[in-house]
Amino acid sequence: MNVTALKENEYNAFYSTYISKVNPEHNLVEALEYGYETYCLFYERIPEEKWTYAYDTGKWSILESLLHVIDTERIFAYRALRIGRGDKTPLSGFEQDDYILPSGANFRTMPSLLEEYRQVRLCTINLFKNLSTQALREIGTASNSALSARAAGFIICGHEIHHAHIIRTRYLE
């Protein structure tokens, strides 16, 4: 099932920006695998002198952006797991900016973050490979909005594309 199978009642309209970036020809696992292959290479090619660069005051560095992508993937995969297993407990939101400073991302290296990214993505791929069609269609509540397990997966994919585009256009050009 690909991104075009999603219905508007499966996610908050805020996430349509991310979801719309996912290749409609990919099913969810293919989109996750494509991201794994594409963005590992993308980040590996960023020169070391750019890792802690931020294009403006108050903006995240490239290392912080990558760790944000990793953290967000973990959160949305957790949401997908709970929703896919039929847990109807409303899931709280998270404040992304609160995660950056304590993350210490700028004191890490790109290879260490990429290793973490790879491990998280492989776990995410395994999760979505093993959720049944019914589990993927389950809808729960996250951040006071409806969210299906499959929408959470496509949000992971589109969110990653979004941040890579920002890095490409505002940090590397």
Enter the DSSP assignment of 171.
Answer: I
Indicate the pLDDT class of residue 130, thresholds 50, 70 and 90.
very high
**Residue pointed to by tokens 């969810």:** 28
Number of H helices and E strands in the chain, helices first, is 7, 2
pLDDT at position 2: 83
Given a contact cutoff of 8 angstroms between Cβ atoms, the answer to whether 127 and 61 are in contact is no
Average pLDDT, the chain: 97
Domain edges within the chain: 3-171
- Other CB atoms within a 10 A radius of the CB of residue 173 amount to 7
Q: Which two tokens stand for residue 43?
A: 């980040």
pLDDT at position 161: 98
Q: What is the average pLDDT across 139-146?
A: 98
> Span 3-171: which CATH code?
1.20.120.450
25 φ/ψ angles, rounded to the nearest 5 degrees: -85, -15
- What is the Cα–Cα distance from 128 to 130, expressed in whole angstroms? 5
CA-wise closest residue to 21 among 3, 41, 42, 7: 3
Q: Give the length of the chain.
A: 173
Q: Is 86 left (phi over 0), alpha (psi -120 to 50) or beta?
A: left
pLDDT tens digit sequence for 17-76: 999 999 999 999 999 999 999 999 999 999 999 999 999 999 999 999 999 999 999 999
3-class DSSP string for the chain: CEHHHCCHHHCCHHHHHHHCCCCCCCEHHHHHHHHHHHHHHHHHCCCHHHCCCCCCCCCCCHHHHHHHHHHHHHHHHHHHHHHHCCCCCCECCCCHHHHHHHHCHHHCCHHHHHHHHHHHHHHHHHHHHCCCHHHHHCEEEECCEEEEHHHHHHHHHHHHHHHHHHHHHHHCC
pLDDT tens digit sequence for 68-125: 999 999 999 999 999 999 999 999 999 999 999 999 999 999 999 999 999 999 999 9
pLDDT at position 173: 86
pLDDT at position 128: 98
pLDDT at position 100: 93
Q: The pTM is what? A: 0.97
